[in-house]
Structure 1
Amino acid sequence: MKEHPILFSAEMVKAILEGRKTMTRRIIKPQPDNQLTGYSLLGTHCWRDENLNLDEIPYGNYTACPYGQVGDRLWVRETWAIIKENDNVCIYDMSQNSGLFFKADNPTSPKVGKWRPSIFMPRWASRIDKIIALLRVERLLDISEADAKAEGFNSIDEFLTYWNILNKKRGYGTDINPWNWVIGW
């Protein structure tokens, strides 16, 4: 089993902790050409031209998921801080996350030192681990109602609105229907 970090916003961390979020979608980079299709083969993910026979080119242009494979562990990176008192770092027992504060729990706490972005969270500070149980490749607009709920939303429309808030400015909005890694735990 390998371990892989994965970033989540405070809102999505809260949904994970509440049990509402059991799936995430991550943009495949670079995006494959439109004539290609994703499929799963023996636990790995590949691309191939949809007009080709699988027996002719069994592995297509192999692209491994950077977030791991089924059975691997994801450790969540989230916005965090070290509790400070009188400008001195106050850490008592890091094995129990004492001295750490998470934005998902209380974004306006006055006891927090400086918020640290999720990208800078070290492994020792992570409090959430998830084992990958599902992994597939899918276009964004192929999401089902059940998957939108597993993403932590009430409907597909709600999920797609949130998706555009996060990804449209980066060129991966619903208008281009990007390919994604679909990861479930």
Structure 2
Amino acid sequence: MKTYIKERPIPFSADMVRALLQGWKTQTSRMRGLERFNGWPDWKIPLGEDAWELCHFMEEEPGIWRAVFQDPRGECPPGLDPVVKCPYGKPGERLWVREPWKVGLFLPWGGFEVEYQSDGARKVCRPVRGHADAWLERLKEQSLGDCRKAGVKPWLDRSVLRRRQAMFLPRCASRILLEITDIEVRKLKSITAEEARAEGIEAIFYDEETSATGWKNYLEPESMCIRARDSFFTLWDRLHGAGEAEKDPWVWMIKFKVLEIEE
């Protein structure tokens, strides 16, 4: 009997896709599903100056976590559900990568080509059927419209075709498959230097004599960061907004291994 392994989509920026392809990235931090714990940071109540303190999250079963509070009046603030399910799954399950892309061309036998923005690689996708037929036809019409607008014949100049966000990449066009190896719920700023490097940050300077390393500053590319953690925080702010790392949100820290990268 064949064992079914659950797969879920996960989007990555072009920078992080390159880190996956290079083998630098084996971890990702995400806030999805933890909004209610990050959106009420002080846990204040009307009575006096006391507050509930969210100490940590305890895994009750694979993929299910409970927020643990330190307060003598109760387990958690009134009206707050302390139980949360990880939207990315649990160890052993898989994530298929969504990345920035564009259509390359449509093929005579019904397939279509995808070009990935991270490295310019291309993949021919098999024709989709059923409920996805309308989506494919709409994609083709949009691409033909791009060609008409630019005044070129269809598929002769791919540069005129629109760039598309990672969230719109279909499963058939995904080339990278990951397997979750571990999940924790922690504060963002608890990340270690080793974990920051595993997030896929880029080293832009290395001194062989002293082993000194300079890390990419994702907010100010003309400068660099001395510490890996600082580089990661600039990456977080670029993705989520200036000053967001300083808020130190609760995040899923997801470790994974790459199962497949289609050539």
TM-score w.r.t. structure 2 length?
Answer: 0.58
Q: Check the 8 A contact 1:25/1:182 in 2, yes or no.
A: yes
Question: For structure 2, which runs of at least 5 residues remain unmatched after alignment?
Answer: 42-52, 122-156, 202-214, 216-227, 257-263
> Quick check: 1:70–1:133 contact (8 Å CA) kept in 2?
yes
Question: C-alpha distance in 1, partners of 2:69/2:235?
Answer: 31
Report Cα offsets for 1:53-111 as digits up to 9, x if no partner.
Answer: xxx99xx8210011111111101111112213xxxx237696xxx7221001139xx63
SS at match of 1:146: helix
1:159 pairs with 2:159: no
* 2:176 paired with 1:176: no
Is residue 49 of structure 1 aligned with residue 69 of structure 2? Answer: yes
* TM-superposed deviation, 1:51: 5.2
**1:144 has 2:144 as partner:** no
Contact (CA 8 Å) 1:83, 1:91: kept in 2 or not?
no
| 1:57-76 alignment runs, 5 A limit | 61-76=82-97
Cα displacement (A) at 1:41: 3.6
Larger radius of gyration: 2
Query: Cα–Cα, structure 1 residues 42 and 101, in superposed 2: closer, same or farther, change >3 Å?
Result: same
Residues 1:8 and 2:15 are matched in the alignment = no
Q: Provide closer, same or farther for how the CA distance between residues 61 and 81 of structure 1 changes in structure 2, counting only shifts above 3 A.
A: same
1:96-135 to 2 correspondences below 5 Å: 99-106=113-120, 111-112=158-159, 113-135=161-183
Q: Secondary structure at the match of 1:13?
A: helix
Q: Aligned partner of 1:30: which letter?
A: R
Contact 1:12 1:152 in 2 (8 A): yes
Judged with a 3 Å threshold, the aligned counterparts in structure 2 of structure 1 residues 42 and 81 are, in CA distance, closer, same or farther, namely same
Q: Secondary structure at the match of 2:231?
A: helix
What are structure 1's unaligned runs of at least 5 residues? none
What is the rounded CA distance, in whole Å, between the counterparts of 2:11 and 2:20 in structure 1? 12
Give aligned-pair identity as a percent: 33
Q: In the superposition, relative to structure 1, how do residues 105 and 175 fare at CA in structure 2: closer, same or farther (>3 Å)?
A: same
Task: Summarize the alignment of residues 10-29 of structure 1 with structure 2, pairs less than 5 Å apart.
Answer: 10-27=14-31, 28-29=34-35
Q: Per the alignment, in what secondary structure is the counterpart of residue 71 of structure 1?
A: coil
Alpha-carbon spacing, 1:80–1:183, altered in 2? closer, same or farther (3 Å): same
CA distance in 2 between counterparts of 1:123 and 1:173 reads: 31
Distance 1:161 1:151 in 2: 12
What amino acid maps onto 1:79 in structure 2? P
Instruction: Give 1:19 shift.
Output: 0.6
1:49 maps to amino acid: F
